[in-house]
Structure 1
Amino acid sequence: MKKLLIGAAVGALLLPAGMAAAQDGHDHACVDESCTVVELFHGASAPEGGAAPAGWVGTDAPKYGDWGFDLSGRDTSVAPGDSFFRYANGTAFDKLQIPSDRTSYGSFPLLRELSDNRMKALIQGLVARKDLAAGSDEAKIADAYRSYIDEARIEQLDAQPLQPYLTAIRAADTHEKIAAYMGQTQGRVGSSFFGTGITIDQKQPTRYVVSAGQSGIGLPNRDYYLDARFADKKDKYQAYIERMLTNIGWADPAGHAAAIVALETKIAEAHWTPIENRDRDKTYNEYTIQTLAAEAPGFDWNGYFNAAGLGSIDRLIVRQNTAMPKIAAIFAAAPIDTLQAWQAFHTTDDAAGSLSKRFSDAQWEFRSRDLSGQPEQRSREKRAISFAEGSLGEAAGRLYVAEYFPAESKAKMEELVANLRIALSHRIDNLTWMGTETKAAAQEKLRKFTVKIGYPDKWRDYSALEVRADDLFGNTQRLGQFQWNYQLNRLNKPVDKAEWGMTPQTVNAYYNSANNEIVFPAAILQPPFFDPNADAAVNYGGIGGVIGHEIGHGFDDQGSKSDGDGVLRNWWTDEDKANFKGLTTRLGAQYDQFEPLPGHPVQGGLTMGENIGDAAGTAVGLEAYHLSLAGKPAPVIDGTTGDQRFFYGWAQVWQSKYREEALKQQIATDPHSPAEFRVIGPVRNVDAWYEAFDVKPGSKYYLAPEDRVRIW
């Protein structure tokens, strides 16, 4: 599936939906491993004085106990040192029931459902109004919803919207024409062997640059083609390809499905691994179209870039430079009829969500049920809300903020961020493994951090986007072209520092290295992350840990490669860099030992950046909490100390349960560790956790003081 390269290196709490499967190697990530917003039924609010139970629904933020954490959700039969995840969350975790239309459930999904439930109320309110001005953002949101919910019209059209594309694919009867067609898929249905987009230049972050990288496969990543653990998924993928080709009447669907899988397996062999794709030094390779054509012959690069509207560029950044010649050679050797069938399948797969049930159901059955273990498809109404909200994301966000984001939340967050920055500054000054020169550069970077909270100061202009109430497929194509034109129009213009990479209604947060900024959308600023009525320790463990996590991304193994101005350059002394490398290697080795499922261990190298972020979140968040006490002792609440409540707050954020297939996919593709180890991994390296819960040698996750990794 085609993936658009859209920005500079970003680290965050969870990975956006679908991003784990991206094959372009782009660095975009987020604090949660899945940002999909799923709707709950509207109406009820959280029960007073207790935790939001499984299945809670409503437009009011959930409530967790009387002071931000529900002690009854613990499992005290488990010792804290044997599994702090179970000790803090076990009873609540056991009660969690994953809804049949989800692949996971817990704190993040609950808030994503809350966000979507609120959007449902707002969007259905727009649909009911008769006074919306034609062409207004509100009218476009309502029409986007109407187009998706009009199932009769969608069924009537069936595969008709695809026919012009399939005709064009059949007419692309040479390799040169196929390459040009791949370029045309930017901003519309279809795919390419190479992902292309407009990003912030990591070495000149005041300007944009074209970026290109590996793509061309339809399974989540190369492992799904090459690792025997996923052989059954590969077989089901071939059956899915055959089904889609049959649906569009393509000749010899079984034979072409086998040829497509064989072709993509060769491409997968050429792909860099997910761990290799994380290296920002190795993925920054400056080329011209001419030098790329010389190094990667067999693919008509001029025709490709011209068709994409990029023929006039004088430079581009190639990410997986050693993979590009191999993939170009695979393209050149592939028979035309295989390439045409490949494009026909990916075009159909790309469009399936906006086509009739025989297409959308087939796609759901493979991509959600077979790959991720989701038993039931989301209702059409839920999908319609997500489509309408996503089509005009910031316009919908403006409605969300006006209704659901109080000004006092932003003010309180600014105070928390300020304390986290002070805490990290203190910790940098006191690092024993870093020298004076590097400390000064780190402090300069910290001072230059930009903080964005809640929503953008400047909203996106959607006046050029046409939305029709009776044309779902057309709406998706016009939206894709609108987004691609937005990207194209950035070239040769200064970087827009005010731009946001997430909408306000997104339950997530991120760090952008090129802008040296941390960003916290409005929707994450509520329980269990942030509650103005909760105990301060719980808030520092929750949203304070999130803030520390995002700041920590500026100093993780990849974010630390950029300076305070966002420039990708080395600001470290050789000795300090070696010390840092030694610490991160030790941390990675710890995570390599975690095995959420038999035969599926965590990849410490893949999850390194997020693990460093989590370590920073706990260590810096705790120090910030202590600073907030201003020398006064922390109160004891319900027999719990301040430090205990801080760690409870952190653990509560990661209270999540996964379906087995979804967890396997996350381990293979996602730069975030599974939730259980986002609790256990960081706290076992914090001395105060041992003291708070009296964790002694002999406990399963005990680390001797000399084995604890203290980076930031």
Structure 2
Amino acid sequence: MHPLPEPASLPSLLLSSGGWRPEWGRTQAGGMSQPSGMGPPWNQERSPEGRLPTEPGGRWSTVRGVLIAGLLFSVLLGFSVLLVYVFRSCGPSPCRTPACWDLLARYLASGNTSVAPCTDFFSFACGKAKGTDYSFQALAKENTDRLRKILETPDSWHLGSGEEKAFQFYKSCMDTGAIEAAGAAPLKHVIEELGGWRISGNWTSLDFNRTLSLLMSQYGYFPFFRAYLQPRPTPPYTPIIQIVREYLAYLYQLGTLLGGDPTKVQEHAFLSISITSQLFHFVKPLEQRRAQGKLFHMVTIDQLQEMAPAIDWLSCLQATFTPMSLSPSQLLMVHDLEYLKNMSQLVEEQLSKHRDFLQSHMILGLVRTLSPALDSKFQEAHRSLIQKLGELTERPAMPARPRWMKCVEETGAFFEPTLAALFVREAFSPSTRSAAMELFTAIKDALLSRLRRIPWMDEKTRKEAQNRVTQLQVKMGAPEWVLEPSLARQEYKDIQLGPNYLQSFLSCVRSLRARIVQSFLPSFLYHRWQVSPWGVNAYYSISDHVVVFPAGLLQPPFFHPGYPRAVNFGAAGSIMAHELLHIFHQLLLPRGCPACDTRALQGALLCLKRHYAAIPLPSGTSFNESQTFLENAADVGGLAIALQAYSKRLLWHRGETVLPNLDLSPQQLFFRSYAQAMCREPDTQEPHDPHSPPTLRVHGPLSNTPAFARHFHCPRGALMNPSSRCQLW
């Protein structure tokens, strides 16, 4: 257990009640020195005409004393007023811009100031927040609303440009009247292209692998497994194909909506569910595969062909990942190899006995996948399925989403480069980007400084860590290439919109898959972003050694150029530092840093584990410490680095502001802003979320920070001022 050293305290310029007060102000307030050679005016030589008569009994002496006292009082009063003005002008002034008033309203609406901050700071900052009104999810919704406004108020565009196609697609998606009028006809046309099925009495038996290849390449549907591109998890990080199973579910209504005979529909649906059930039983739980050290296998296409011969792997994968050139020696990363072997055996059995049932199984799965692009009857059937599955798993039903939200998401997925340029133009100006880069530079400098003082690092590891930070690339806002105006007119030449929404949707699916594959080719020179520019998730890419902060994250209430610096450093700055620390997460794993002081490192990690375990959680809340410890370490270190960067900024820059009427000092506002970014209902923890519950994400790092207890005057032993703390970063 290592006590965390107190951050360098600010000079005595700061007073808790009056703001900044320079030391020279105190000495000047104690008295005024007289300019040399100038005495009081009543002692200067006067002409006889200027002298006043002296009355007997010292009357003139008394008058003179009164005049002198009055003069001194006036001088001192005036100088005192001047000092007050100087002191106030040097201290933090309230920010009264529209952005600050809006932020103040958010803070007042979410916080519960009746709770003592030293006892429960999460409730102090987030006690009134309900749902996702004041969290990352709320910001994501605001960004989606902004995209909707962009799509519903289009500017002028070039004919045939990407912008025109994006707006046309969104309009087609929102035209529910045309979709309802088309009914099931567009989907029946798709089924005919696949050879039909026996449910409707019109079926041409095509080659199984040809049908599978069409489903994967032309419709983006994988009935037995999913294949996608991803960089290798270890150097040299070249792209490889990953394969995992996909769970299928069906509804009897789908076949009848397509005009199938009810008896045949029931029979085919039952056997399809039977196939799905058998596939499900082939899957080994993730925990079991992890314990056996079999999370994935590296095999070539030739080797997989021998182990799972029912699938023509080379032809199916080549069709899916064109224009990549695949060969039998192409490496694949296979998740759950035993599943693929058993799946292949099941397919062979069905092909020999029930080829028509296998065809129906694949088409039913495709129909379910395409149901969001179909009329309301198909969508209602899909919603009913989701509701029943929720009842079986005792999960609360998801509320129905408005049509515009679905259409915005689909337009964003298919036309991301175009919408990225439009979003950045409206929400992330060059001045905002410049301010964000300035903040990031301050955070990175603080990290470099902190690396010099980490006790468990040996000198070689320390220098390597500093080099890693220095060589890091940062991407801010949106990918560089999507902001080039010429590309907006050249994109999406392969997309053909019409004659109905389903055909437009499928054309967009094919175009998107082709662009994804293209981004993995050597000719693509840019980092492949894993989030949309309007997204709210920052990340660090190990393969490209790049940290990404999308424009959607660097928005109010987390960041604004006009905010007090305390807000930007506390919210966005902590997030930036958190992501930077992921560069070193391998060092924290067992045997991740053989040359380091293992005893000191393990002691710090154990201290942090005990620190989090000692913090009480709301009733019914739980978390997996082994699953969250890397994120906990990044939370604690991110806050410490952001605070160090902010303290340095306070020392070297004047003009700090605070939020009006909030009665928080700059440092208190820093901590409040950090907590505000974590506001969420305490019991909204996803099962596989690598982060701790929101109460721990607030109380864990803040209670490990001595400056928090000092600035909020927390008594020793309070929740937010424990008797011991940990030093990891």
* Partner residue, 1:312: 327
* C-alpha contact (below 8 Å) 2:305/2:311 kept by paired residues: yes
* Partner residue, 2:525: 496
Structure 2: how far apart are the matches of 1:142 and 1:576? Answer: 58
Show CA shifts across 1:565-600 (max 9, x none).
xxxx99833545776566556656766788978666
**Which residue identity is paired with 1:622?**
L
- Which 10-residue stretch deviates more, 378-387 or 299-308? 299-308
Give the 3 Å change call, closer, same or farther, for CA 85–282 of structure 1 in structure 2.
farther
**Which residue identity is paired with 1:266?**
H
Establish whether residue 70 from structure 1 lines up as the match of residue 110 from structure 2: no
Give the 3 Å change call, closer, same or farther, for CA 369–333 of structure 1 in structure 2.
closer
Structure 1: how far apart are the matches of 2:441 and 2:651? Answer: 14
* C-alpha contact (below 8 Å) 1:606/1:671 kept by paired residues: yes
Show CA shifts across 1:203-255 (max 9, x none).
445x742221323125xxxxxxxxxxxxxxxxxxx6x6445455444443663
Q: When the two structures are superposed, what TM-score results if normalisation uses the length of structure 2? A: 0.72
Of 156, 181, 186, the match for 1:161: 186
Show CA shifts across 1:339-360 (max 9, x none).
5454334312221111111222
In the TM superposition, what is the alpha-carbon distance from 1:551 to its structure 2 partner?
1.0
* Partner residue, 2:88: none
Of 174, 192, 200, the match for 1:149: 174
In the TM superposition, what is the alpha-carbon distance from 1:331 to its structure 2 partner?
4.2
SS of 2:532's equivalent? coil
Give the 3 Å change call, closer, same or farther, for CA 570–606 of structure 1 in structure 2.
closer
**Which residue identity is paired with 1:532?**
P
Establish whether residue 655 from structure 1 lines up as the match of residue 679 from structure 2: yes
**Superposed counterparts of 1:309-458, under 5 Å:** 309=321, 311-312=326-327, 314-318=329-333, 320=335, 323-333=336-346, 336=350, 340=359, 342-367=361-386, 371=390, 373=396, 376-458=399-481
Structure 2: how far apart are the matches of 1:698 and 1:173? Answer: 77
SS of 1:199's equivalent? strand
Give the 3 Å change call, closer, same or farther, for CA 491–407 of structure 1 in structure 2.
closer
Establish whether residue 259 from structure 1 lines up as the match of residue 296 from structure 2: no
Which blocks of at least 5 consecutive residues in structure 1 are unaligned? 1-47, 52-59, 99-103, 219-237, 562-568
* Partner residue, 1:537: 566
* C-alpha contact (below 8 Å) 1:150/1:470 kept by paired residues: no
* Partner residue, 1:527: 556
Show CA shifts across 1:10-52 (max 9, x none).
xxxxxxxxxxxxxxxxxxxxxxxxxxxxxxxxxxxxxx9999x
In the TM superposition, what is the alpha-carbon distance from 1:642 to its structure 2 partner?
3.2
In the TM superposition, what is the alpha-carbon distance from 1:121 to its structure 2 partner?
2.5
- Which 10-residue stretch deviates more, 630-639 or 324-333? 630-639
Show CA shifts across 1:636-682 (max 9, x none).
95543333221101111122348x7xx3xx52233333433332333
**Which residue identity is paired with 1:328?**
K
Show CA shifts across 1:425-457 (max 9, x none).
122111112211211111111111111112222
In the TM superposition, what is the alpha-carbon distance from 1:480 to its structure 2 partner?
1.7
**Superposed counterparts of 1:533-612, under 5 Å:** 533-557=562-586, 572-575=593-596, 580=601, 583-584=604-605, 587=608, 601-612=622-633
Structure 2: how far apart are the matches of 1:154 and 1:177? Answer: 31
SS of 2:584's equivalent? coil
- Which 10-residue stretch deviates more, 383-392 or 244-253? 244-253
Structure 1: how far apart are the matches of 2:196 and 2:700? Answer: 53
Identity %: 22
In the TM superposition, what is the alpha-carbon distance from 1:399 to its structure 2 partner?
1.7
Show CA shifts across 1:332-383 (max 9, x none).
2365357545433431222111111122233345548975746642222333
In the TM superposition, what is the alpha-carbon distance from 1:305 to its structure 2 partner?
2.5
In the TM superposition, what is the alpha-carbon distance from 1:87 to its structure 2 partner?
1.5
* C-alpha contact (below 8 Å) 1:176/1:299 kept by paired residues: no
**Superposed counterparts of 1:99-110, under 5 Å:** 104-110=132-138
Give the 3 Å change call, closer, same or farther, for CA 196–607 of structure 1 in structure 2.
farther
**Which residue identity is paired with 2:433?**
K
Structure 1: how far apart are the matches of 2:205 and 2:599? Answer: 52
Structure 1: how far apart are the matches of 2:317 and 2:502? Answer: 25
Establish whether residue 85 from structure 1 lines up as the match of residue 139 from structure 2: no
Q: Give the structure with the higher percent helix.
A: 2
* Partner residue, 1:198: 229
* C-alpha contact (below 8 Å) 1:529/1:542 kept by paired residues: yes
**Which residue identity is paired with 2:533?**
P
**Which residue identity is paired with 2:378?**
F
* Partner residue, 2:143: 115
Give the 3 Å change call, closer, same or farther, for CA 258–370 of structure 1 in structure 2.
closer
Structure 1: how far apart are the matches of 2:99 and 2:387? Answer: 28
Give the 3 Å change call, closer, same or farther, for CA 169–641 of structure 1 in structure 2.
farther
Structure 2: how far apart are the matches of 1:548 and 1:427? Answer: 12
**Which residue identity is paired with 1:431?**
I
**Which residue identity is paired with 1:200?**
P
* C-alpha contact (below 8 Å) 1:592/1:603 kept by paired residues: no
* Partner residue, 1:36: none
Structure 1: how far apart are the matches of 2:386 and 2:267? Answer: 23
- Which 10-residue stretch deviates more, 691-700 or 149-158? 691-700
SS of 2:540's equivalent? strand
**Superposed counterparts of 1:20-99, under 5 Å:** 63-65=101-103, 70=107, 73-91=110-128, 93=129, 96=130, 98=131
**Which residue identity is paired with 2:434?**
A
* Partner residue, 1:140: 165
Structure 2: how far apart are the matches of 1:299 and 1:483? Answer: 25
SS of 1:210's equivalent? strand
* C-alpha contact (below 8 Å) 1:61/1:526 kept by paired residues: no
Say how many residue pairs are matched.
Answer: 603
Structure 2: how far apart are the matches of 1:183 and 1:256? Answer: 23
Of 278, 292, 313, the match for 2:304: 292
* C-alpha contact (below 8 Å) 2:371/2:378 kept by paired residues: yes
In the TM superposition, what is the alpha-carbon distance from 1:494 to its structure 2 partner?
5.0
Establish whether residue 679 from structure 1 lines up as the match of residue 698 from structure 2: yes
* C-alpha contact (below 8 Å) 1:212/1:316 kept by paired residues: no
SS of 1:502's equivalent? coil
Give the 3 Å change call, closer, same or farther, for CA 537–367 of structure 1 in structure 2.
farther
* C-alpha contact (below 8 Å) 1:602/1:673 kept by paired residues: yes
**Which residue identity is paired with 1:216?**
E
In the TM superposition, what is the alpha-carbon distance from 1:696 to its structure 2 partner?
5.0
SS of 1:290's equivalent? helix
Give the 3 Å change call, closer, same or farther, for CA 506–632 of structure 1 in structure 2.
closer
Bigger Rg over Cα: 2
* C-alpha contact (below 8 Å) 1:245/1:345 kept by paired residues: yes
Structure 2: how far apart are the matches of 1:578 and 1:328? Answer: 45
Which blocks of at least 5 consecutive residues in structure 2 are unaligned? 1-93, 198-202
**Which residue identity is paired with 1:603?**
N
* Partner residue, 1:464: 493
Of 286, 289, 304, the match for 1:272: 286
